[in-house]
Amino acid sequence: MDLKYLFEPKTMAVIGVSSANDRHPANVIFAKNNNRYPVEVFAVNPKGGKLHDEEIYPRVADIPKKIDLAVIATRAELVPDVMADCIKAGVKSGIVISGGFTEGGRKDLQDRMVSMAKEASFPFIGPNCLGVYVPFKVDTFFLPIERMIKPEPGGVTFVSQSGGILVDHIIKFKEQGVGMAKAISIGNKALIKEKELLAYLVRDPATKVIAYYIEGFDEGEGRDFVLAADRSPKPVIIMKSGKTPAGNRAVSSHTASLAGDYASFSAAIAQHNILEAANESELVSFCEVLSSYTKPIEGKIGIITGSGGHGAMTVDACSLNGIKVPELSVELKAEIKKNLTENIQAIAALGNPADLTGSSIDEDFVACAKAMSASTEIDCVIVLLLPYIPGLTLDIGVKLSSVSKQFNKPFIAYVPQVEKYNMLIEGFELNGIPVAPSIEGAVLMAKALVRKKSC
């Protein structure tokens, strides 16, 4: 099965468009792709007729071109026959938006689709999903274009069982400046599941980080997935819901009671080098840092700050997360001090954290970052950047980014997130240094680098 056509269709049929209702999901999908994406789109409805100026074809087979992707948004009971038509007409892939299958008591309909698709090697996503969003390529979300928040193009692909969670995270990624390669809503995941997408995404050049929102796996599928993810050269992140058991099931053994569903889930993914994000902010932080840095670290954090309190809070957060903030050697401290501006040499508190004080200027941050980066005592630098310190300029991001690149050491910045500081934040982000909106977020980013195996 070739999944390529799901993500890069040149031709697309939207089946189930209404000639009367422009807010019908199929119409929304038709309109946005027709107007804004490099896809040739055809409307299909058995009743035929016109959609504004465009022709509505009664069947896929009537379309004069070969179709790469059929987006099916008809009533559930019609979908199996529509899919059979698509297969017969040589359509290369499908997305079933419609709901009303296993989740609505019609497992029979879903089973029919799966068995015909398997027989014909016809890849389809869904049913009961939003489908795919690929920047500049295709968008099958039935959300009106004016209501969507679009992320920057980038390295993160997020696969979600829930369409709502997916859209929410697109917003969060956008907010945090995390670029996305693809957003994929898999709904009931009847045929194409987490594992099939993993196999595709591992080979997808646009995808650098593969993130999942998972409610649960079917019987035995968790095992297959984690074994495959362990072999992935790209980092895999999972955010899980449904961690608390729905009821008290009778358990026959101590082991079954101690190793509940979620405990087993969590243990199995950690064992196979999958990063578990405990919540949304971890997910976004992990995605951001792992799309910036691929090299894992041991976790010897150097902290540079303009405020002693921020430094102390960062040390606490590191310790809570089991990350080392090593004492600096006398030599390294002397090296840092030597290069500070004269004014700061006298007042800076040069341990780890290195507190350069509110009187510091860009050059003090750069000098300290250089000395830490050049040393083997530190393998990752967290910079606590307070834009209200008078001596700091808007160029601090680009200056520190060049130090990070020169020494090939990951830098992570904390900058308070308000609109006023956006240009400063972008100075970091657009030059490849991830910025966290909180101290804890910065530390979580470092943690993601520590836990990731070498890729």
Question: What residue ranges bind other proteins (CB under 8 A)?
Answer: 216-223, 226, 252-259, 261, 263-265, 267-268, 271-272
**Residues counted in the chain:** 455
DSSP string covering 364-414: HHHHHHHHHHHSTT-SEEEEE--TTSTT--TTHHHHHHHHHHHHT--EEEE
CB of 255 to other proteins, least distance (A): 3
Decide whether 192 or 226 has the Cβ nearer to other proteins: 226
CB of 230 to other proteins, least distance (A): 10
CB of 276 to other proteins, least distance (A): 14
Q: Count Cβ neighbours within 10 Å for each residue of 204-240 and write b for 16 or more, e otherwise.
A: bebbbbbbbbbeebeeeebeebbebbeebebbbbbbb
Decide whether 76 or 270 has the Cβ nearer to other proteins: 270
Decide whether 192 or 214 has the Cβ nearer to other proteins: 214
* d(C-alpha 1, C-alpha 93), whole Å: 9
* d(C-alpha 3, C-alpha 423), whole Å: 39
Taking Cα atoms as reference points, which of 208, 171, 185 lies closest to residue 139? 185
Decide whether 38 or 216 has the Cβ nearer to other proteins: 216
CB of 261 to other proteins, least distance (A): 7
CB of 197 to other proteins, least distance (A): 17
Decide whether 263 or 455 has the Cβ nearer to other proteins: 263
CB of 218 to other proteins, least distance (A): 8
Q: Count Cβ neighbours within 10 Å for each residue of 335-358 and write b for 16 or more, e otherwise.
A: bbbeebbeebeeebebebbbbbbe
Kindly state the tokens that stand for 400: 């520190």
CB of 252 to other proteins, least distance (A): 5
CB of 263 to other proteins, least distance (A): 6
Q: Count Cβ neighbours within 10 Å for each residue of 389-406 and write b for 16 or more, e otherwise.
A: bebbeeebbebbbebbee
* d(C-alpha 83, C-alpha 254), whole Å: 48
Decide whether 9 or 222 has the Cβ nearer to other proteins: 222
Burial class (CB in 10 A: 0-12, 13-18, 19+), 7: buried
Decide whether 121 or 257 has the Cβ nearer to other proteins: 257
CB-based contact 300:324 (threshold 8 Å): yes
Decide whether 149 or 263 has the Cβ nearer to other proteins: 263
Residues 6+ positions from 251 with CB-CB distance below 8 Å: 257
Decide whether 255 or 408 has the Cβ nearer to other proteins: 255
Question: In 40-116, where do the E strands start and end?
Answer: 40-44, 50-51, 54-57, 69-72, 94-96
* d(C-alpha 455, C-alpha 453), whole Å: 6
CB of 172 to other proteins, least distance (A): 27
